[in-house]
Structure 1
């Protein structure tokens, strides 16, 4: 019995020692896996943070692009509205000019009819008939010149709008060397344009007064765009 007990005791000690050695071996084997697992966890955390940062940057970029697109769209809409307003203003101006021209033509026609009625009431003379023909010729010439100038102005305005939109090439021609040399001796068109317009206004006023006063009393002459009665 004693020998059996000793054998059992020795066997238990052996098994206990073997179990401890196996446990130590397993622990030693688990340490590398634990370090690897920690590294994997760190890498996963870094990847997660990187993905969050990239997502944040992507959203900020999308917001920036959306804001830029919104600003560009607002600018285009404002530009289109300004062009439409300018076009409507030009159209209204043309209509008002045409209305004024028709009213002026109607008044002059009525005055001409009154003159005709007066001349028919009396014995018409050759001088009166000649004056009436000159008045009609002047009216027709003014009407034709006005229509031509109006159509030319409309065509230039439309061509300017198309060129501004890039649908027509620019027609700028550089000045010659001779023009650049004598540029200092010449007035710019903007400087004498008002003088030219004032001169044309006086001429038109002179013609209009000539029509209005051609059959009045006395003799009238044109003095700087105004008719002055000369007895």
Structure 2
């Protein structure tokens, strides 16, 4: 009788362990964005993603690279934006992303893999840069002394940039980005070899574009529009 009881207990433990399943694909897709983009549900993310911390570190690296590039690109006078100022801009940018961006998810199953497509309405970063460049250009035209004071230009530019980030809106058109995920026992994992897609998901939220190339194109167009608008006003 005692042996039979032990056998039943072992059998029950085996059955219960076999019932452990990964959360649904749609829930996993939302949890991924909630953690790496919106910085929420850290504990739940770690519980449900096998390579969660690795993925989050990759996203943070994207954030740092973007911060370095956009401040360096905006200040074209050869000076470096102080680290504390760049951090402040990044914090404002992240806050605005959390407040105004949105997304929906579509799931398509392909065997054991779930193709998770994010339809992202990201921040209109090109508009931020356009308004900032337009503003500093007008200030330089109105004040000849400003044009010869590089430190003052940087100071005025950063002030405008902070104002425009806080007023930024999300784009009306969604950008589709697809990631492949698969369950492994009771956790999800992002299929390896998708570093580019993860990078693009970051660009979708931070700039409303599909990749770095698209952002560069939008940026160039925005700067060309600024030049034309200023020239028209000077006529």
Q: Give TM-score scaled by structure 2 length.
A: 0.28
Structure with a larger share of its residues in helix:
1
Structure with a larger share of its residues in strand:
2
Structure whose CA Rg is larger: 1
